[in-house]
Structure 1
């Protein structure tokens, strides 16, 4: 754990990419192999199931520190991080420990499902043997909020430097459903058995937002255009002994979409397809809200399977007959994909994502404006000669999204943020007018600068009317322009409306509350959106 804490400190004290990579590479060369595996897992999002909840940790820490629980709770929003708060209020440890990261992680795994008194004693014993810095990391590992300021791509680069294995090869090996407690460092980085995990997907290629004019990309004939679908990005893997559907977040979601199971019997073996999972009607994709009913459900009721059947719109072929096609030009991969899908029996829940034909950027821009009518978010632009790369590579793939919807609303409630913004009020609840009343309809917490948040925080502190725990009610005076990607009816909200991805665009210091938008205007927008969705 001491070595891991030293790595965390080295990464935390620099913003330079080269220094972060060097520190990680040195760790991957020198740390015990079991600790290396856990570090790889933690930096790629594979965190163990939480053995202790936040309330228990806060209560136990207050008891050990001799503080009333309410005081510990008041400290949390000021420090901004529960793990750090606990590490600071605890008394100095009476013992020391040389236990490795692997040892501590296995102890946490062993606590899962144990009675509360057993878990309490184990956590207290650990706190009594760890330094403040080590306790902070230990608490982070318990709560599942672990962050080291290092992306998975940066970690993979460092691992490549330490092992001599190519980054692209390592990125592929680290995909899939491997468990750090049962996986060796050699199996991740050494001689690799291609059949060790037949269901393993490839790292996803990602597009960058198009911020310049489309005609800056050059000749239209050098590009493919297709719709940017509003669904779940996924890879279908069909190899000998394995049929799997993976989300972009490396979550195995095969069982959540049983209506896609027939593909196993008809897709050729040795195939990997990059696609979008959508809820589907006979005429095309349904709104994301229909698919959302299925997300997070381990067992999907027959009613929802009937109302929102799943369908795959395929747009890339990554592997055919066991051959890795990713280095091939997109035009070649696309042609082979269409040939494979054309040979399948009719009625299967898969089809190629249609290409949008165009011969001029201006004409394509006009087509883009019809995206919402197709339940799409805009267009994807992909260079015809592009390989299927790992991660985000600017220049070859662009997402040309529609401009978001906007609404002017007034802030009613404010709450402090977390992490580095823990001392600032950044999380706001907004309302629109409904006659003479103000109706709350959404929350937002991003989009403004730190300077603006500081100015708003000063105002909130001077103008607080009531407190409800960490939430403060303020007079309805500050107006903001909010942007959002979609709107849908909601029975859970008083307003009857829910927004998708709301965020603050501007603090409208120039606009009075009397001129904010109304609930009727949102209902009109909802009606338009629903009409467009029905085609």
Structure 2
């Protein structure tokens, strides 16, 4: 725990990339494999499933230091981080360094994980002992692991870079090895950093190549990319980015979030049985009925996402298709370095005669950027979000590498709405009212329709916070209702009908675009205006 705590402190002490990479590289060079495996897991964002609820942990802290629970909760509200609050308060109890020399893997495997099977009385007794065995910094690290909030400002890409520097392996190879269903064992870490090639799991996906955004770009900026004929354009679908893997006679479907979606889309797995063995397709899962020319609303796909074993009735009501963008592996050979047009040609050959539930994503031919721009303006007619532009000749890279792939999205939906409720944010914003609920007019009444917490500058946040505190009408726990007065322009990516919301609608990815200090309350949008943004078939969704 001593070595891992020192790593955490080094990472937490800087925002610069090189020192973070150096800190991780130094750690991997010194740590035993059993510890390094768990460190990789935590640094890559994997969490221990929360074993004890945060309120219960704070309750035990209150008992350990003999402090009223209300004061502990007020401290938590002021600090905004449960692990940090607990650590600060626990400074009042005695500590030693008895637990520092216990390796990280023993802390996790023999102390933290076994808490799951203990009674609350035993859990509390164990934690009281653990807290007393560690000095402040190590106690903070332990609390971070217990609360599942182990964030240190490093991305998986930085972790990969540090491991690559330590092991002397190409970052792309290491990124591939970090994909899939590995467990943090010593054997895994040793294979991870072994310079020699070794057999991969037949279900192992590749790292995804992510397109970089072109934000609000005029056509002149797009033209800087060079002749339109040098680019492959395709629709940017609104579904689940996924890899469809056919290896060793089996099919595996992985989401971009590295979720193995086994059994969730059995119709796609059945269709994939006709694919040649040793191929990996990159594409998008969409809700799409047979014979339709357009995808169904995203809400239909949402019905399928959480179903581990969808019934035949569910599959019939909410059908799906896989639209393939790219071919990453062919006949068991990694072909990501081959030019895009060659991969697409092979992909088209692979999909000949395959069930229509697995289809080739359309290539959009255009003679000029002006033609593409005109087609992009019609994106919503085709139930898409715009284009993805891919440079001809480009390889399939790892992560978000700028230059070869761009997403050229249509402008978001925009609504002017009234601030109605507010509550404190989290983390460094826990002492400020930054999470807002907005409403639109329905006749003479204001009806809540969206929540947003991002988009304002720090200065604007402080101004809005001060105004809310002076104009609070009622309080409902942490939530405050305010006098309707201020109008904000909200942007969002999608809209759908919803029986769960009073307004009858739900929006996707709402954020604040600007504070409309120039607009009076009466000129905010109406609910009818918002409903007019719904796709024509949105209300016809089956149950």
What TM-score results when the alignment is normalised by the length of structure 1?
0.96
Residue 194 of structure 1 and its aligned partner are, at CA, apart by 4.2
Q: Which string of whole-angstrom CA distances, capped at 9 and with x for unpartnered residues, describes residues 269-292 of structure 1?
A: 111110101111121421111101
2:393 pairs with 385, 402, 426, which one?
385
Deviation string, structure 1 residues 79-109 (Cα, Å, up to 9, x no partner): 0111111111123333321222212211222
Work out the CA distance in 2 between the residues paired with 1:264 and 1:240: 13
Aligned position for 1:329? 339
CA contact (8 A) 2:65 2:93 kept: no
Q: Is 1:314 the counterpart of 2:362 in the alignment?
A: no
Maintained 8 Å contact 1:294/1:300: yes
Q: Give the superposition deviation at 1:489.
A: 0.8
Counterparts of 2:203 and 2:514, CA distance in 1: 46
Name the residue aligned to 2:20.
20
In the alignment, structure 2 segments of 5+ residues that lack a partner are none
Aligned position for 1:39: 39
Q: 1:158 aligns with which of 157, 162, 176?
A: 162
Q: How many residues align?
A: 532
C-alpha distance after superposition, 1:480-508 (max 9, x if no partner)? 10001111111111111101111000011
Contact 1:424 1:457 in 2 (8 A): yes
Distance in 2 between residues matched to 1:183 and 1:59, nearest whole Å: 39
Q: 1:338 to 1:527 in 2, by over 3 A?
A: closer
- Indicate conservation of the 8 Å contact 1:330/1:386, yes or no: yes
Counterpart for residue 94 of structure 2: 93
Q: Following the alignment from structure 1 to structure 2, what is the Cα–Cα distance between the partners of residues 44 and 53?
A: 23
Aligned-partner Cα distance in 2 for 1:55–1:301? 38
SS in 2 for 1:262: helix
Question: CA separation in 2, counterparts of 1:419 and 1:183?
Answer: 36
Query: Take 1:102 and 1:517, find their aligned partners in 2: how far apart are those partners?
Result: 56
CA contact (8 A) 1:373 1:533 kept: no
CA contact (8 A) 1:411 1:431 kept: yes
Aligned residue in 1 for 2:130:
126
Alignment partner, residue 462 of structure 1: 470
Q: What is the match of residue 48 of structure 2? A: 48
Does the 8 Å contact 2:278/2:332 carry over to 1? Answer: yes
**Within 2, Cα distance between the matches of 1:210 and 1:438?**
35
Structure 2 residue matching 1:124: 3-state secondary structure: helix
- Which ranges in structure 1 are unaligned for 5 or more consecutive residues? none
Partner of 1:442: 450
- Seen in structure 2, the aligned counterparts of structure 1 residues 310 and 34 have a Cα distance that, compared at 3 Å, is same
Cα deviation, residue 464, structure 1: 2.0
Does structure 1 conserve the Cα–Cα contact (< 8 Å) formed by 2:449 and 2:506?
A: yes
Q: Structure 1 residues 93, 198: CA separation in 2 closer, same or farther (over 3 Å shift)?
A: farther
Residue number in structure 2 paired with 1:174? 178
Point out the more displaced range, 50-59 or 463-472: 463-472
SS of alignment partner, residue 256 of structure 1: coil
| Distance in 2 of aligned mates of 1:263 and 1:210 | 35
Q: Deviations over 1:33-85 (max 9, x none)?
A: 22211111112222222111112112111111212222211211210111111
CA distances 1:295-350 after superposition (whole Å, capped 9, x unpaired): 122232333211111210001000001111000000000000001101x34x3420
TM-score by length of 2: 0.94
Partner of 1:255: 263
Q: Against the structure 1 CA distance between its residues 414 and 73, is the aligned structure 2 distance closer, same or farther, given a 3 Å change threshold?
A: same
Match in the other structure for 1:509: 517
Aligned-pair distance for 1:196? Answer: 4.1
CA distance in 2, matches of 1:532, 1:159: 51
Q: Is the deviation greater in 220-229 or in 194-203?
A: 194-203
Deviations 1:419-460 (A, max 9, x none): 122222110011111111111111101111111111111112
Q: What are the residue-to-residue correspondences of 1:359-438 with 2, within 5 Å? A: 359-438=367-446
Is 1:288 aligned to residue 298 of structure 2? yes
Aligned-partner Cα distance in 2 for 1:489–1:182: 49
For 2:336, what is the secondary structure of its paired residue? Answer: coil
CA distance in 1, matches of 2:356, 2:331: 20
Q: Aligned pair in 2 of structure 1 residues 241, 148: CA closer, same or farther (>3 Å)? A: farther
- Note if contact 2:95-2:135 (Cα within 8 Å) is conserved in structure 1: no
SS in structure 1 at match of 2:163: helix
1:189 aligned residue: 193
Distance 1:89 1:432 in 2: 44
**Does the 8 Å CA contact 1:405/1:484 hold for their aligned counterparts?**
yes
Q: Offset at 1:263?
A: 3.1
What residue in structure 2 maps to residue 5 of structure 1? 5
